[in-house]
A and B are shown apart, each in its own frame.
Chain A
C-alpha cells in the first residue's frame, strides 16, 4: 500500500533543495560568471518557496525586482569588469578552512534553534482537514497595498480605538523608502559617472 505523497512537502523539498544547492554552488565556484548564473537559479527557487508559503505577491516581486532587476544590474557589473584575471579569482586554502569552520559553527547553532520551537513544527496532516475551513487563502496583493497605504484590513478589530486612523500601517516607511530610492538613484548615477576629465587633466599636468 503506497502512501499518498503530500504535494506541498514534495514541492517544498524540490524548491528548497534547488535554492540551497545553488546557494552553496555560488560559494564553491570561483568563476564570477557562473556565480551570477547560480545566484539567479537560487533566487528563482526562493520565489517558489514564497509561493508555497502563501505569499503570492512577495513571490512575484521577488521574481520581478530581484531576479529581473537587481541581478540584471549585477550581471552588467560582471560584464563590465570580467576581463582576463578577474573572471576567476582563487581564494587561498587557509581562507577556505577558516570560512568553512565558521560556517559549520553557525549552521550547528542555527539549525537546532529552528527546530527548538514546538509551534513551528507544521500542521499535523490528520487535523488539516478539520481546520481547512479557517485556512481559506486570500490573495495578498490588495491587503499588502492597503497596508502600505496605512490601512491594515487584516487586523481591523485588534487596533485600539484611539489609534484608528491608520497608525498601524506602513505609510511612513513606504514614503521613506521611496525618497531613499530617489536619493540612491542620484547617488549611483553620480558615483558611476566616468571621470575622464579629471584623469586627462592629471595626465596633462
Chain B
C-alpha cells in the first residue's frame, strides 16, 4: 500500500503529523479535528447504538432464505429450485419452515433469538425496475419525482436531523478501502495525496469560490487522514474479506458512526439460480460471520444491529432458465443481540405462494422507522413523513427486545 510505516514517517507529512500530535492543543482548537478527536460519545437523545444497513442488490430471494419447504405449492412452483428438507435447517418453533443450509451462521443466531425475519415487506404499487426500486429504498419515498425526499438518502436525512457529525453515516461503497480513503493516489509513496493536501493549504488570495474549493480539499484530506489512521491497524480475528471487512474496519474506527451502509450484489438470479446461489449465499454468510466475530472481539457487537434488505423479492414460480424473475414482497432480516428474534410480518401461506409473487404486508419504511426509534433512539417522523407519502407503521411484531 503506502510502504512500511517507518518509510511513511520519513515523509514531510509524517514529520508534520508527529509535530501536530505533540501540540495536541492545536488539534483541539480546530473545529473539525475536535469533533473527531473525541472518543465515541452518546449523541444527545440517541442510544449511541450502531445500525448497519446491508443492501442486497438485484432482488434477494426471500423464499431461498426462509423456505416453506413442506408446502406442496412451493415445490410445484419451483420444480428445480424449491428447497427441500435436505436443503434447510428447520425452525425450532415451526418445522414447516427452514433457513437455507447455505446460511448456517444466520441459523445459529436465529437459534439464539438474535435474528428477526420481517416477512413480505415492500411498498405499494410495485416497481419492477432495479434502478428505481433501489432508489425508493434509498430515499425512503414512493414518489421519486423530486420534492424533499429525493435530495438525500433517508439515512442522510436522519443524520442531518439528529446527529450531525462528520462520520455519522458512512458508506463502504463510497469510502472504498478505509485504509486508503482520501485523494485516490495509488502510487508508491502517495505523492499526489500529499501534494493535494499541501496545495490546498498553501494558496493565498483566492476568490471566495476558489477558497471554498480549497477548504473542501483540506477537509477531505484531514477527515481522510482520520479515517485512514483509525483503520490502518485493524487486524481481523480471521480472514476478513469483502464489504463486511470494510464495514468492520469502519465500525471499529471509533469515529462516532451511527449508520453504516454497505451492499452486496449479484442476487438478480434470472437464470441458473441454484448455481448462482451456491456462490452468493455462502459468501454473504461467511463474510457476515467474520464481521460479527471481529465486532465481538472488540466488544462492539452488543450495540450493533444489522439490517439486510433488498429492492424486491422474486417470483414464486421459476422460469425456464431455471431462475426467477422480479417479484414484489421480500424479507427484511434484522440481526443483533438487541433484536427480538423470530418471524415478524406475515408468515408465508399457501395463498401467498399461489400469487405470482409474495405480496407485501409490511411497508419497508415501518421497519426502518422501528430501527430508528427502538434501536437508535430517535424520532423517525422527520425522515419519512412527507406529503403524499403515507404508509402503514405496522411491522407485525416487536423487532427489538
A complexed with B: no
